[in-house]
């Protein structure tokens, strides 16, 4: 693969045009691009990226059609976490305005699920703070909530419960859990700059525990935490190796009081470049744009679908508010796309 960044601009564009076509063809074939090709994306101009997005839009359409999946979450247990993830307002090691409360009741979790289904979500995730949900009473409460959601709604159910053991994963699967969400957060080479209270290997082990019991897995990260583009590519290929089903894409919205409070928002084209890279590396996976969507894309949210995303997180986030779900539905339908109301 030639290194294109030092070639004369006119020649560079022509050669990159051919490279883009090669990348899209690799994606359409379902095999994805190489690491070397992914690294080249860092040097594409806005004009070149606009040409690329025509191809990533075709990729999304080839493997995902016009359907846009909408996932919703409930922050079922908030704050007082002993981990030191530098981006997170729920860490007890930072002083933030994040709410703190114990695990919600079964009724409260089920009510939140029904509300999510009513505004168009097809998937609902129960998210808790903390290293893991290892309290027996709390685990039983989540298990009961899963059973009721499966019985009383048509939602797919996901949980994000931290570094869970294999035995706990077996219990959750038996209760009807469809999917486990567990982010790797960032590349292995950048991980210790963001988290020191557990390791990257701990994160991977939790993902593998979920896979071993037969759960689908949703694994992604947070971008804009001081990592290089090469480290974003590194994370993408690590997740490709894990053979997961969906990738939640979060863009850092720094929160006052956290270790990363000094970092600004990623710019629009850099965010679109990142989504396109992920679609090209992972052509058949579900790509959800989650945290930071409203702030980074603002009035350009429709562009994330051309870049390759086929899902969004609707409603509120863990500790910050999202936009009105009705606005999300309207945006999707105005693009000629189809919000998925029921599980596929």
* Per-residue pLDDT reduced to its tens digit, 23-48: 999 999 999 999 999 999 999 999 99
Give the model confidence (pLDDT) of 43-55 as tens digits: 999 999 999 999 9
> What span, in angstroms and rounded, lies between the C-alpha atoms of 200 and 236?
14
Element (H, E) at 272: helix 268-281
Reference 35, options 224, 188, 231, 183; nearest CA is 231
- CA distance readout (Å), 330 to 50, 72, 262: 24, 17, 34
Q: Which residues fall within 8 angstroms of residue 339, CB to CB, at 6 or more apart?
A: 67, 68, 70, 120, 328, 329, 332, 333
Does residue 93 surpass a pLDDT of 80?
no
Element (H, E) at 276: helix 268-281
Reference 77, options 27, 33, 112, 119; nearest CA is 112
Do 123 and 343 form a contact (C-beta atoms < 8 A)? yes
> What span, in angstroms and rounded, lies between the C-alpha atoms of 62 and 55?
10
Express as a percent the part of the chain with pLDDT over 90: 66
> What span, in angstroms and rounded, lies between the C-alpha atoms of 288 and 286?
6
- The pair of structure tokens assigned to 227 is 């990592």
User: 307 phi and psi, to 5 degrees?
Assistant: -70, -20
Per the listing, tokens 């190796």 go with 241
* DSSP output for 171-224: HHHHHT--EEE---BS-TTTGGGT--SS-HHHHHHHHHHHHHTT-EEE--EEE-
Q: Which residues fall within 8 angstroms of residue 231, CB to CB, at 6 or more apart?
A: 186, 187, 189, 190
Does residue 80 surpass a pLDDT of 70?
yes
Q: How many CB atoms are located within 10 Å of the residue 9 CB?
A: 8
Domain ranges across the chain: 9-61, 62-340
- The pair of structure tokens assigned to 89 is 């307002």
Give how far the C-alpha of residue 124 lies from the chain's centroid of Cα atoms, to the nearest Å: 14
User: Residue 10 — very low, low, confident or very high, per pLDDT cuts 50/70/90?
Assistant: very low
User: Residue 118 — very low, low, confident or very high, per pLDDT cuts 50/70/90?
Assistant: confident
For 62-340, the fitting CATH number among 3.40.50.300, 3.10.110.10, 3.20.20.70, 3.40.50.720 is 3.20.20.70
Taking the model in full, what pTM does it have?
0.89
Express as a percent the part of the chain with pLDDT over 70: 90
- The per-residue pLDDT for 141 is 95
Does residue 341 surpass a pLDDT of 80?
no
User: Residue 320 — very low, low, confident or very high, per pLDDT cuts 50/70/90?
Assistant: very low
Give the model confidence (pLDDT) of 204-263 as tens digits: 999 999 999 999 999 999 999 999 999 999 999 999 999 999 999 999 998 888 888 899
Q: How many CB atoms are located within 10 Å of the residue 154 CB?
A: 11
Q: What is the DSSP letter of 253?
A: -
What is the average pLDDT across 331-335? Answer: 89
> What span, in angstroms and rounded, lies between the C-alpha atoms of 337 and 327?
14
State the distance between the two ends of the chain, measured CA to CA, in whole angstroms.
Answer: 39
- The per-residue pLDDT for 52 is 97
Residue 121 or residue 182, greater confidence: 182
Do 76 and 126 form a contact (C-beta atoms < 8 A)? yes
Reference 176, options 209, 154, 161; nearest CA is 154
Residue 156 or residue 281, greater confidence: 281
- The per-residue pLDDT for 339 is 86
- The per-residue pLDDT for 67 is 93
Does residue 322 surpass a pLDDT of 70?
no
- The per-residue pLDDT for 190 is 97
Residue 210 or residue 328, greater confidence: 210
- The per-residue pLDDT for 307 is 98
- The per-residue pLDDT for 318 is 42
Q: How many CB atoms are located within 10 Å of the residue 50 CB?
A: 14
Give the model confidence (pLDDT) of 296-317 as tens digits: 999 999 999 999 999 998 754 4
What is the average pLDDT across 123-146? Answer: 90
What would you report as the CA-atom Rg of the chain, rounded to the nearest whole angstrom? 20
Does residue 164 surpass a pLDDT of 80?
yes
CA atoms within 13 Å, Cβ hemisphere of 319: 22
User: Residue 344 — very low, low, confident or very high, per pLDDT cuts 50/70/90?
Assistant: very low
Give the model confidence (pLDDT) of 283-299 as tens digits: 999 999 999 999 999 99
Do 155 and 342 form a contact (C-beta atoms < 8 A)? no
Do 271 and 41 form a contact (C-beta atoms < 8 A)? no
């Amino acid at each position: 693969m030639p290194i294109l960044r030092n070639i004369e601009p006119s020649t560079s564009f022509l050669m990159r045009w051919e490279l883009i076509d090669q990348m899209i063809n690799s994606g359409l074939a379902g095999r994805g691009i190489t690491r070397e090709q992914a690294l080249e994306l860092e040097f594409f101009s806005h004009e070149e990226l606009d040409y690329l997005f025509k191809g990533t839009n075709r990729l999304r359409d080839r493997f995902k059609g016009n359907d846009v999946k909408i996932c919703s979450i409930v922050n079922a247990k908030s704050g007082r976490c002993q981990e030191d993830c530098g981006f997170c307002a729920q860490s007890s090691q930072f002083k933030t305005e994040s709410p703190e409360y114990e695990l919600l009741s079964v009724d409260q979790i089920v009510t939140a699920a029904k509300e999510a289904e009513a505004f168009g979500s097809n998937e609902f995730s129960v998210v808790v703070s903390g290293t893991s949900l290892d309290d027996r009473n709390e685990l039983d409460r989540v298990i009961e909530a899963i059973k009721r959601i499966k019985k009383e709604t048509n939602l797919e159910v996901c949980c994000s419960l931290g570094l869970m053991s294999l035995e706990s994963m077996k219990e959750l699967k038996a209760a009807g859990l469809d999917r486990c969400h567990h982010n790797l957060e960032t590349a292995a080479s950048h991980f210790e700059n963001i988290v020191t209270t557990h390791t990257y290997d701990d994160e991977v082990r939790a993902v593998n525990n979920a896979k071993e019991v037969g759960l689908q897995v949703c694994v992604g990260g947070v971008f804009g935490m001081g990592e290089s583009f090469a480290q974003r590519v590194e994370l993408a290929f690590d997740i490709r190796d894990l053979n997961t089903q969906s990738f939640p894409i979060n863009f850092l919205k720094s929160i006052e009081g956290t270790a990363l409070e000094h970092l600004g928002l990623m710019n629009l084209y850099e965010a679109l470049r990142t989504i396109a890279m992920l679609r090209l590396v992972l052509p058949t996976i579900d790509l959800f744009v989650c945290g930071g969507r409203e702030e980074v894309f603002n009035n350009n949210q429709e562009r994330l679908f051309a870049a390759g995303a086929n899902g969004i997180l609707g409603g509120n986030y863990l500790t910050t508010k999202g936009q009105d779900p009705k606005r999300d539905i309207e945006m999707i339908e105005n693009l000629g796309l189809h919000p998925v109301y029921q599980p596929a």
